[in-house]
Amino acid sequence: MTDAISSLPTQLPPARRRAIPPDVAAARVRRRYASERTFKALGFGALALTAVFLVALLTSIIVKSLPAFSEHRAVLSVLVDAAIVDADGKRNADAIRAADYASLTRAAITAVIPGIEGRTARKALNGLLSSGAADDLRDRVIANPSIIGTTIKTPMLFSDDVDLYLKGDTGRHTAALGAAELTPSDVKGDITLTAANQSFAALIADLEREGVANDAEAGAHVLDGRIPSRVVYINGGAVKVVKATANTLAGPVLLPLSSVTPAQAGSWNLTTYVQPESRRRISDQEIVFIDKIRSAGAIERGFNWRFFTSGDSREPELAGIRGALIGTALTLFVTLILCLPIGVLAAIYLEEFAPKNWLTDIIEVNINNLAAVPSIVFGLLGLAVFLNYFNLPRSAPLVGGLVLALLVLPTIIISARAAIKAVPPSIREAAIGLGASQQQAVFHHVLPLAMPGIMTGTIIGMAHALGETAPLLMIGMVAFIVDVPTSISDAATVLPVQIYLWSDLPEAAFQQRTAAAIVVLLGFLFAMNGAAIWLRNKFERRW
Amino acid sequence: MENSTVDLSAIERVEAARTAHLTAGAKPAKVLAHDVNVYYGDKHALQAVNVEIPDRGVMAFIGPSGCGKSTFLRCINRMNDTIASCRVTGKITIDDQDIYDRSLDVVQLRARVGMVFQKPNPFPKSIYDNVAYGPRIHGLTANKAELDEVVQSSLEKAALWNEVKDRLQDSGTGLSGGQQQRLCIARAIAVNPDIILMDEPCSALDPIATAKVETLIDELRSNFCIIIVTHSMQQAARVSQRTAFFHLGTLVEEDSTKTIFSNPKDQRTQDYITGRFG
Ligand SMILES: Nc1ncnc2c1ncn2[C@@H]1O[C@H](COP(=O)(O)OP(=O)(O)OP(=O)(O)O)[C@@H](O)[C@H]1O
Ligand SMILES: [Mg+2]
């Protein structure tokens, strides 16, 4: 063998080079540049396309969610009537709690718009406020019983339809100032407004264009909910137009008039609400009331704290994500305390201690396979094992956390192994060469160095768990749960499931809340991924 | 091949050396290897190595790349245990104690046999913690003051104290390559071993750092038994008193450094030191 080494040729033959004509060489260079340019353009195109989709998606969600982050309230004076709240005068907490606060809020809003008679109109007026308004008042009185018997100014939550009306463009209208003197026949009830000189010819023409023919029986054009509504504002009141002739308008009074004195030209107007009444969630009567409250300066718009502080509700304006957030936190807590130690220990064992044989090979392959198993399968497993076999509570974060831990475990093991493997063997050798045991080498040197990588993997795994819905549906975390959970065995739901539940509901306000909840979820995901990147950069080491 | 004859002669030589020591009243060898074979799986990496390494002084291992120098070195503190496929047969004793004996605690062995690696590999911790790590895990010091003292004396012995005494809390990885290597030597010294194994300690260093490490080795040899693997013939000649030449997994020749470099017995040694191959 020595001979073989010494007999190696000491000089290599000179390399053969074919002479290339300059024009061919130039063409070759050009082709190379061209193909490089094409490739760059294609890559940039792909990136741009992705970015466009991403931006479009995010913008659409954020824009859709924005209304859900604010709410409208009527700031009204309310008399906290001692006779209702505290009938026996003993300041009994239970009595105070059980009192009829809805009657107080009703009284407060009736005070703003007095003189409303008739059941429908009263119902419409009272329906403007959310049922949460009375609950808020109750909370306020319980917190501070000294206000009993006094009149306080308090914000009262509007119902979701009113809120949407105030936020949206349902109230789009055009107003035409009256061109002639108009005389009302009464101040309330069904009245007729009379003018001279064919004043309403233009209106009649409009109605004809909208497909309303003259009704021979009524002797007038009859307006219904399928065409834009017309309301006459006159003498401080409002009259809905139901029948129109060239000289008269007739219909119910929506807001009582102050007098029957003829209104001068220019002092009244005919307002057209572009959206037909049948196509909106709010009636002409309600619009008139809201506008009246607004003109009284009693409407405020504020941040929707309730969205973050209350649980789910059937009423969109009262629904919040607190329950889902706490449920998510409890679930992820269970997941984390299970899969971090188990995952890290499994990774350490596999990487540092396990003998390399077919058994560990099989385990390794199966861990990688598990990471690719569809998440719903873990849900079925949870249903079969945790609920049916171990009889753990249904819908509970405990079970959700167990299922998600199974789901995340492979991810954590794989990333922890990668992080441990990335620690240079020289560090391990240095420790072992100094007489450290294998275990000491791992726990004193390898693990601390692998920790940032392990944390990164864990955070990404948890982010994965945070967005998971399917397996939780299987174990019943999809129920409608109003109460905010307080322990891991309470029934709860999680953020993505809450989104799924809300997205199914017909109310427009729930659609906005769905988007808002998605924004919150995305916020958490971004924060977690950001933390992972930050950790990675902060602890990135060069050996 | 002529393995068997080489083997016999080697054993005879070792036995002769041994008796010579005894008759001369000198101390017996610190490390004694008898018929050591190492296999990596099916690969027979070391074949029937017999060698005697005296206490105090520097022994150099030279030989072409892949001939098994590191493998043999790693047998002496049983670092080969960490390689799953590696199997060692034969007998290695340190102070007449078989280090592959079942009853021997490998952790204690490694505390007695320190190792310095080819590439400086300080822990990514402070300079202080690097040196203090060994004493800490072996419980060599009773309190902080003693530990401080060990750290200081180790760094002084490694000729690094003056350069780092003001920044003991800085990271060990922030030092220059030569400083890092001396830090690794200080770290090995801190557990007060009998033997220090050095696997090409200067291969990553520039000439100035190399000179510093060589001076250091020269100073340490009165207190330690040092075994150094090197590819530099000059270095072997400068720092060692005895030299062993390995070739293709066999120990070809072992003798005083002077003899190896001036009057080698084997043709292969002759070829190697004159740069004919390797
Ligand atoms: N972990 C291992 N697994 C398998 N074979 C190995 C392993 N380590 C070393 N070997 C083989 O054992 C033989 C001796 O290797 P060794 O590292 O001892 O050589 P060396 O003399 O130190 O070389 P160098 O001077 O290049 O460091 C080589 O052929 C090498 O390929
Ligand atoms: Mg080597």
Strand partners, B44: B39
CB contact B183 to A (< 8 Å): no
What would the pLDDT profile of B101-115 be if each residue is shown by its tens digit?
888 888 889 989 999
Q: Where are the alpha helices (DSSP H) in A297-321?
A: 306-309
pLDDT computed for residue A516 by the predictor: 95
What would the pLDDT profile of B48-81 be if each residue is shown by its tens digit?
999 999 988 899 999 999 999 999 999 999 998 8
Q: Of ligand 1's atoms, which has the minimum distance to the CA of residue B72?
A: 18
Please tell me if the CB atom of residue B47 comes closer than 6 angstroms to any atom of ligand 1. Answer: no
> Would you say residue B19 has pLDDT above 50?
no
pLDDT computed for residue A15 by the predictor: 64
pLDDT, mean of residues A72-78: 92
pLDDT computed for residue B21 by the predictor: 44
CB contact B1 to A (< 8 Å): no
Per the confidence metrics, is the pTM higher than 0.90? no
Cα torsion angle, B85, B90, B94, B98, sign = positive
Q: Where are the alpha helices (DSSP H) in A270-357?
A: 284-295, 306-309, 322-348
| Distance of alpha carbon A404 from alpha carbon A382, whole angstroms | 9
Residue with the nearest Cα to atom 28 of ligand 1? Answer: B66
What would the pLDDT profile of A263-288 be if each residue is shown by its tens digit?
998 899 999 999 999 988 899 999 99
CB contact B268 to A (< 8 Å): yes
pLDDT computed for residue B5 by the predictor: 42
Closest CA relative to residue A315, chosen from A513, A65, A67: A513
- pLDDT tier at B89, thresholds 50, 70, 90: very high
pLDDT, mean of residues A314-336: 93
- pLDDT tier at A404, thresholds 50, 70, 90: very high
CB contact B79 to A (< 8 Å): yes
Q: Compute the nearest-CA separation of A366 from chain B (Å).
A: 23
| Distance of alpha carbon A264 from alpha carbon A76, whole angstroms | 33
B276 contacts on A by Cβ (under 8 Å):
6
Report whether B204 contacts B165 (CB < 8 A).
no
- Per cent of chain A over pLDDT 70 is 96
B84, B115, B119 ranked by CB distance to A433: nearest? B115
CB contact A60 to B (< 8 Å): no
Please tell me if the CB atom of residue B119 comes closer than 6 angstroms to any atom of ligand 1. Answer: no
CB contact A506 to B (< 8 Å): no
Residue with the nearest Cα to atom 24 of ligand 1? Answer: B65
> Would you say residue A357 has pLDDT above 80?
yes
User: b or e along A109-142 (b: 16 or more beta carbons within 10 Å of the residue's beta carbon)?
Assistant: beeebeebeeeebeebbbbbbbbbbbbbbbeebe
Q: Which residue in B has a C-alpha nearest to residue A440's C-alpha?
A: B137
Q: Which residue in A has a C-alpha nearest to residue B186's C-alpha?
A: A434
> Would you say residue B42 has pLDDT above 80?
yes
pLDDT, mean of residues A446-472: 90
Please tell me if the CB atom of residue B68 comes closer than 6 angstroms to any atom of ligand 1. Answer: yes
Please tell me if the CB atom of residue B70 comes closer than 6 angstroms to any atom of ligand 1. Answer: yes
What would the pLDDT profile of A125-179 be if each residue is shown by its tens digit?
999 999 899 999 999 999 988 888 899 999 999 999 999 999 988 888 999 898 8
* Average pLDDT over chain A, rounded to an integer: 89
pLDDT computed for residue A3 by the predictor: 44
Closest CA relative to residue B244, chosen from B266, B213, B212, B221: B266
- pLDDT tier at B28, thresholds 50, 70, 90: low
User: Which residues are within 5 Å of ligand 2 (an ion), measured at CB?
Assistant: B 70
- Count of other CB atoms within 10 angstroms of residue B182: 28
> Would you say residue A356 has pLDDT above 50?
yes
> Would you say residue B6 has pLDDT above 60?
no
Burial of B77 from C-beta contacts in 10 A (0-12 / 13-18 / 19+): buried
For strands B195-199 and B113-116, give the pairing: parallel
Strand partners, A302: A71
Please tell me if the CB atom of residue B71 comes closer than 6 angstroms to any atom of ligand 1. Answer: yes
B133/A541 touch (CB, cutoff 8 Å), yes or no:
no
CB contact A424 to B (< 8 Å): yes
Please tell me if the CB atom of residue B40 comes closer than 6 angstroms to any atom of ligand 1. Answer: yes
Q: Among the listed ranges A76-80, A428-432, A522-526, B15-19, which one has the minimum average pLDDT value?
A: B15-19
pLDDT computed for residue B22 by the predictor: 43
CB contact B221 to A (< 8 Å): no
> Would you say residue A96 has pLDDT above 90?
no
Q: Among the listed ranges A229-233, A303-307, A414-418, B19-23, which one has the minimum average pLDDT value?
A: B19-23
B124/A356 touch (CB, cutoff 8 Å), yes or no:
no
> Would you say residue A85 has pLDDT above 50?
yes
B137 contacts on A by Cβ (under 8 Å):
434-436, 440, 444
pLDDT computed for residue B3 by the predictor: 42
> Would you say residue B186 has pLDDT above 80?
yes
pLDDT computed for residue B205 by the predictor: 78
pLDDT computed for residue A4 by the predictor: 43
- pLDDT tier at A213, thresholds 50, 70, 90: confident
A445/B123 touch (CB, cutoff 8 Å), yes or no:
yes
pLDDT computed for residue A319 by the predictor: 92
> Would you say residue B10 has pLDDT above 80?
no
Closest CA relative to residue B92, chosen from B115, B66, B65, B71: B71
- pLDDT tier at A541, thresholds 50, 70, 90: low
- Per cent of chain A over pLDDT 90 is 58
> Would you say residue B26 has pLDDT above 60?
no
pLDDT computed for residue B274 by the predictor: 86
B124/A427 touch (CB, cutoff 8 Å), yes or no:
yes
- pLDDT tier at B9, thresholds 50, 70, 90: low
Using the mean position of ligand 1's atoms as its centre, give its distance from the Cα of residue B191 in Å: 28
Residue with the nearest Cα to atom 26 of ligand 1? Answer: B65
CB contact B117 to A (< 8 Å): yes
Residue keyed to tokens 């291969």: B203
| Distance of alpha carbon A397 from alpha carbon A328, whole angstroms | 8
Mutating which of A351, A428, A432, A434 best tests the B interface, going by the most B Cβ atoms within 10 A? Answer: A434
pLDDT, mean of residues A301-316: 92
> Would you say residue A53 has pLDDT above 80?
yes
| Distance of alpha carbon B6 from alpha carbon A41, whole angstroms | 69
Using the mean position of ligand 2's atoms as its centre, give its distance from the Cα of residue B116 in Å: 12
Residue with the nearest Cα to atom 7 of ligand 1? Answer: B40
Range among A54-68, A86-100, A114-128 with highest mean pLDDT value: A54-68
Mutating which of B133, B200, B247, B272 best tests the A interface, going by the most A Cβ atoms within 10 A? Answer: B133
Using the mean position of ligand 2's atoms as its centre, give its distance from the Cα of residue B237 in Å: 19
- Count of other CB atoms within 10 angstroms of residue B97: 12
Report whether B73 contacts B251 (CB < 8 A).
no
A436/B107 touch (CB, cutoff 8 Å), yes or no:
yes
For strands B97-98 and B86-94, give the pairing: antiparallel
DSSP characters for A486-523? Answer: -STTS----HHHHHHHHHT---HHHHHHHHHHHHHHHH
Please tell me if the CB atom of residue B45 comes closer than 6 angstroms to any atom of ligand 1. Answer: yes
Q: Which residue in B has a C-alpha nearest to residue A355's C-alpha?
A: B84
Residue with the nearest Cα to atom 4 of ligand 1? Answer: B40
Burial of A526 from C-beta contacts in 10 A (0-12 / 13-18 / 19+): exposed
* Average pLDDT over chain B, rounded to an integer: 86
pLDDT, mean of residues B261-277: 87
What would the pLDDT profile of A410-443 be if each residue is shown by its tens digit?
999 999 999 999 999 999 999 999 989 989 999 9
Question: What angle do helix axes B207-220 and B144-157 make, rounded to 10 degrees?
Answer: 120
Q: Of ligand 1's atoms, which has the minimum distance to the CA of residue B41?
A: 4
Helix or strand run (H / E) with residue A539:
helix A508-539
| Distance of alpha carbon A173 from alpha carbon A395, whole angstroms | 48
